[in-house]
Structure 1
Amino acid sequence: MDIRTRPRSISSVTGTKDLQMVNMSLRILSKPDEPRLSHIFKTLGTDWEERVLPSIGNEVVKAVVAQYNAEQLITQRERVSRAVREALTARAADFGIVLDDVAITHLSFGAEFTRAVEAKQVAEQDAERAKFVVMKAEQERNAAIIKAEGESESARLISDATKQFGFGLIELRKIEAAKDVADTMSKSRNVVYLPNSGNMLMQINPTQ
């Protein structure tokens, strides 16, 4: 009898706790337990792998999957894989078979559940997008409030200054503004002073 470790794949279709159909495939690395070779040969023959593994594999997968709902099989895949590995290793030992490794290689659901998952993902994306829009609108509203409060405070300060200093403050602001305009125009090459017009500036096209 060949006592080397050999790989084998097993597929099983079964139902979850919430009655969703799932297709699960396992990769199993197995070998016969050497001290029990005589017993294995007498009870199972040389094709022990073919006679035992598909049967106990389906048995264990159905028992484990029935303990979880479909969403848990996705979110807790490592936990499910560990449960399958432990249960299958113990079951195989009853037949004198040693399992070096058991891993879930494929996991898929029925079309109805797949569509439901896709719809849920779309809904979650839409919810996140709506949340972002609301957050942006809230930030814009807060910015507008802050700006309005700033403008209101500025107007109040100007009003208080006008009451305190009279219209002299306004005249001062006019003089400062006129000074800025005159300073800007005096630096232009197209503007000259008119000697008989006081401080007036006049824009003249040098080409005329």
Structure 2
Amino acid sequence: MDEKNVIKLSPLRPVVGKAIITIIVIALAALIAFQSFTIISAGHRGVVLQLGAVQPKVLDEGLHFKIPFIQTVIPMEVRVQKSETSQTSASRDLQTVSTTIAVNHHLDANNVNKLYQQVGFEYGSRIVDPAIAEALKAVTAQYTAEELVSKRSEVSTKVKEVLAQKLSAYHIILDEINIREFMFSEEFNRAIEAKQVAEQQALKSKLDLERIKIEKEQEITKAQAQAEALRLQKQEVTPELIQLRQIEAQLEAIRRWDGKLPNVTGGATPFIQVENK
């Protein structure tokens, strides 16, 4: 009975073997086809590795052919990236300066293969962060603590120039930086506050002194004008002017007289002079 079953099943073995081989071939073909193409997403570039060696060609966005099992494509993001770090440095007058700086940068799309070959994926911690620290320290050492506050825009421009130069050596392009407020020690802050108060008081005293000086000059000018007016009036006084003023005074008295003689007896009429002609 067993021998008959073996005889009956033996013709099926070649068919099964062929089916398995066919499936394997199809699977290998599908795998090869899948490995022959790669897609580069938007905002990325492809670094081609051929048996581990970086190739000079950089793949743009889209669908690309590659040699299966021989070439590997590494995607590298070329969109703007942000690095934000807190840094501590020293000013020219040896004051400790703390600040937070935010840096926007992106990879040079045409040279991502060189960056990958030199640095790899960890370019942020290996290149960008150390370059930020070095640039900030190099620039803040050129200014006093007070100048870092008063010339913040100038400091930011210099940091950007130094940092851009450092990053460009590794095919990283600097877009923009943002330096937040500089922070100093409590002792320095108190010293700055005291100096500002003293400067304000000195300015107030100076303004008060200038005001007093102006008022004094105004009084002197006014007194000089009054003295000059009196001198001119004295020069213009003549006997005829005195007589005219007397006549005007008598006429004013007559105009105001109510027709009644004064009750006081004795003496002459106070304001009427009669001359015989």
Q: CA deviation at 1:97?
A: 1.7
Give, in whole Å, the separation in 2 of the partners of 1:159 and 1:2: 98
Distance 1:41 1:104, change over 3 A: same
Establish whether residue 68 from structure 1 lines up as the match of residue 133 from structure 2.
Answer: no
Distance 1:157 1:9, change over 3 A: same
- State the TM-score, normalizing by the size of structure 2: 0.58
Q: Is the 8 A contact 2:83 2:129 kept in 1?
A: no
Distance 1:73 1:179, change over 3 A: farther
Distance 1:153 1:22, change over 3 A: same
Task: Judge which range, 75-84 or 35-44, deviates more.
Answer: 35-44
Task: Judge which range, 115-124 or 3-12, deviates more.
Answer: 115-124
Q: CA deviation at 1:114?
A: 2.2
Distance 1:182 1:92, change over 3 A: farther
Larger fraction in helix:
1
Where structure 1 has 5 or more consecutive residues not aligned to the other structure, the ranges are 187-191, 201-208
Name the amino acid aligned to 2:150: T
Q: 1:141 aligns with which of 212, 216, 234?
A: 216
Q: Which residue in 2 is equivalent to 1:132?
A: 207
Establish whether residue 103 from structure 1 lines up as the match of residue 170 from structure 2.
Answer: no
Q: Is the 8 A contact 1:31 1:99 kept in 2?
A: yes
Distance 1:20 1:2, change over 3 A: same
Q: Is the 8 A contact 1:26 1:106 kept in 2?
A: no
Identity of aligned residues (%): 31
Give, in whole Å, the separation in 2 of the partners of 1:181 and 1:73: 83
Q: Is the 8 A contact 1:3 1:31 kept in 2?
A: yes
- SS of 1:10 mapped into structure 2: strand
Establish whether residue 81 from structure 1 lines up as the match of residue 146 from structure 2.
Answer: no
Give, in whole Å, the separation in 1 of the partners of 2:121 and 2:187: 43
Structure 1 segment 5-20 matched on structure 2, within 5 A: 5-20=80-95
Q: Which of structures 1 and 2 has the bigger CA Rg?
A: 2
Name the amino acid aligned to 1:106: E
Q: Which residue in 1 is equivalent to 2:109?
A: 34
Establish whether residue 90 from structure 1 lines up as the match of residue 90 from structure 2.
Answer: no
Q: Is the 8 A contact 2:90 2:96 kept in 1?
A: yes
Q: Which residue in 1 is equivalent to 2:189?
A: 114
Establish whether residue 52 from structure 1 lines up as the match of residue 127 from structure 2.
Answer: yes
1:121-178 alpha-carbon deviations (Å, 9 max, x no partner): 222222221122112211221222223223323443444455xx35x64564465467
Q: Which residue in 2 is equivalent to 1:193?
A: 258
Across the aligned residues of Structure 1 and Structure 2, the Cα RMSD in angstroms comes to 3.0
- State the TM-score, normalizing by the size of structure 1: 0.74
Distance 1:177 1:109, change over 3 A: farther
User: Alignment length, in residue pairs?
Assistant: 190
Where structure 2 has 5 or more consecutive residues not aligned to the other structure, the ranges are 1-75, 263-268, 272-277
